[in-house]
Copies of this chain bind each other. A is one copy, B any other.
Amino acid sequence: MNDVAAINDMPAVARLTAFTELGARDIADLISLAGPMRQLERGDHLCDEGEASLRVYLLLEGWTASSLSFASGARQMLKVHLPGDMLGLPSLALTNRPDSIVALSKIVVSAISLDALGRLFETNARLAALMYLISQEERVMMIDRLAMMGCGSAIQRVAGLILELHRRIMRSEPEVTDSFEHHLSQHDLAELTGITPVHLNRTLQQLRQDKAIKWGRRTATILDRDVLTRHAGLPPRVLNRDLGWLPASKG
Q: Which A residues are closer than 8 A to B by beta carbons?
A: 19, 50, 53, 68, 70-72, 74-76, 78, 89-96, 98-99, 113-115, 117-119, 121-122, 125-126, 128-129, 131-140, 142-147, 149-151, 193-194, 230, 233-235, 237-240, 242, 244-247
Contact = CB atoms under 8 A, between A and B. Distances in A.
B240 A143 contact: no
- Residue among A113, A128, A133 with the highest chain B CB neighbour number at 10 A: A128
A132 B121 contact: yes
Contact of A237 (B19, B94, B115, B131): B94
Contacts of A239: 93-95
3 nearest A-B pairs in the assembled complex, by CB-CB distance: A150-B194, A114-B245, A149-B149
A137 B92 CA distance: 8
A240 B136 contact: no
Given A93-B240, A151-B75, A98 B132 contact: no
Contacts of A96: 235, 238
Of A91, A98, A121, A247, the most chain B CB neighbours within 10 A belong to: A121
Q: Which of A94, A135, A234, A235 is most buried by chain B, counting CB atoms within 10 A of its CB?
A: A135
Given A76-B151, A96-B238, A146-B78, A125 B121 contact: yes
